[in-house]
Amino acid sequence: MSHNASRWLSGHRKALVIITAAALGSVPLAASAASRTQSPGIPAAAVRQLTASALSVATSGGDAKPEWVKAVTTTREKALRVATPGDLVPGAASQTVYLVVMEGQFTLNSAPRPPRAHAPTGHYLAVTFNPVTFQVMDLGLSNQAPPASLGSLGLVSNLTQRK
Amino acid sequence: MAVLGAVGMVTTWKAPAAFACDDGANNHCYAIANNHSLETGVYGQLYITCMYAPNNVNAGYFATNEVWNGSTDGLYFTEGGVFSGAANGNYYSKSWFWADQRPNGGGYHEHPGGGTPNTGTRYPVEIVWAGNNTWNIYGGNSDTLIGQSTSQPLTVTNDMDAGTEYTVPSGKGMRNVGSINELQYLATSGTWTFWGTRGGADPELGPGAYITPGYSSSNNFVTWTGPC
């Protein structure tokens, strides 16, 4: 694609996305009637693998024994509001994920970041996993508790509990 | 150390090596070019000659080919490009990703696993202002919208970078040669403009850094040549 064509496309995409962003902005983050529909719990057969994957992420974040680790099955779109609030990913509404949230003392030394940024730290690590491959799809780290409770998304599985 | 900013030549920096790129919180290494100005978008075409980080989850080895846009203090940023290496208990051979950070309750966010690029191919990547404190990230093998970062004010984003970030110490098996071409910024007037002399190569950044960036102000690209 030529440079000019690329820039033209970019301009059009920008316009489209402004409309999209405006539309998304009108959607309240509070649970709607549809989102209050409970998702099914995490299958027992998946709990062991999910627990291992979640603890692997916790370990790489510097806390191998989080205070608690909880998980729920939901759409990626709803999970993003909990795990990475403020971030939007196209197509997320049609994807099912396992959302895991844990509390601990985390530092992501290996997180990619610009030269002047420090390693991210936080108490709440939230991760979405592909329910088939258990690969991490999204990750968020914050000092503030997630803006929505996992219980509002579905049946919560308690993966580990230290206390 | 003087800045080599002559138009039409590839400029490089050289810094003494010490310690290792992965030895602490702020010790990632970089070979990048920068453009420190308040603009509304950054665009480049990633080119991977070779890119590989050993699978060492414990050490967190990785290498990237990417662009960043954010504040000079590093508190706000968005980034997008290709990642190779270990992250969050997973290993990615080569994968598209994007990430962002915002303070005041936002935190750090990462979105890996966006498809596998090929070597020897130019891929556009773009971070552009979309209004309402939102930045759009375009990339992937098909040059599509891969994410949106909201609550990122325009007024604090006055730093754009392009190049490679790596956490693999010298002699540990990383392969990393690449470039980012056609570097442009979207001026606040709405015109895409080549970086030209607004851009410049940073010094080798990070303790033990061993890849020197080069920037061409006449051809608007940053290149780096590590092991391959």
Over residues B194-220, the mean pLDDT reads: 92
**CATH code at B220?**
2.60.120
Higher pLDDT, A27 or B108: B108
A76-123: pLDDT as tens digits: 999 999 999 999 999 999 999 999 999 999 999 999 999 889 999 999
Do the Cβ atoms of A137 and B100 come within 8 Å?
no
Predicted confidence band of residue A24 (pLDDT cuts 50, 70, 90): very low
pLDDT of residue B184: 97
Query: Is there a domain that residue B18 lies in?
Result: yes
Query: Is there a domain that residue B2 lies in?
Result: no
Residue B40 has pLDDT above 60, yes or no: yes
Kindly state the tokens that stand for B168.
């693999």
Chain B residues close to A21, C-beta within 8 Å: 130-132, 134, 148, 150
Q: Are residues A26 and A102 in the same domain?
A: no
pLDDT of residue B26: 60
Predicted confidence band of residue B11 (pLDDT cuts 50, 70, 90): low
Cβ partners under 8 Å of residue B55, min gap 6: B61, B85, B86, B91
- Separation CA B161–CA A114 (nearest Å): 8
Query: Is there a domain that residue B4 lies in?
Result: no
Interface predicted TM-score (ipTM): 0.88
Residue B90 has pLDDT above 80, yes or no: yes
Portion 24-43 of B in contact with A at CB < 8 A: 24-26, 28, 30, 32, 43
**Residue closest to A132 by CA, chosen among A159, A95, A160:** A95
Do the Cβ atoms of A86 and B149 come within 8 Å?
yes
Q: Is A18 on the interface with B (CB under 8 A)?
A: yes
Q: Are residues A10 and A69 in the same domain?
A: no
- CA-to-CA dists, residue A35 to A22, A74, A87, A126, B169, angstroms: 20, 9, 18, 19, 47
pTM, rounded to two decimals: 0.85
Contact B13, B1 (CB under 8 A): yes
* Sign of the torsion formed by the C-alpha atoms of B158, B70, B143 and B166: positive
Over residues A48-61, the mean pLDDT reads: 95
Predicted confidence band of residue A161 (pLDDT cuts 50, 70, 90): low
Longest dimension (CA), chain B: 46
DSSP assigned state of A131 = T
What is the domain extent for residue A16?
A: 1-30
Coil, strand or helix at A86? coil
**Domains contained in chain A, number:** 2
Chosen for mutation from A1, A2, A6, A14 (greatest number of chain B CBs closer than 10 Å) is A14
Cβ partners under 8 Å of residue B135, min gap 6: B69, B78, B100, B127, B128, B129, B148, B149, B152, B157
Kindly state the tokens that stand for B125.
């990547």
Q: Are residues A20 and A47 in the same domain?
A: no
Residue B220 has pLDDT above 80, yes or no: yes
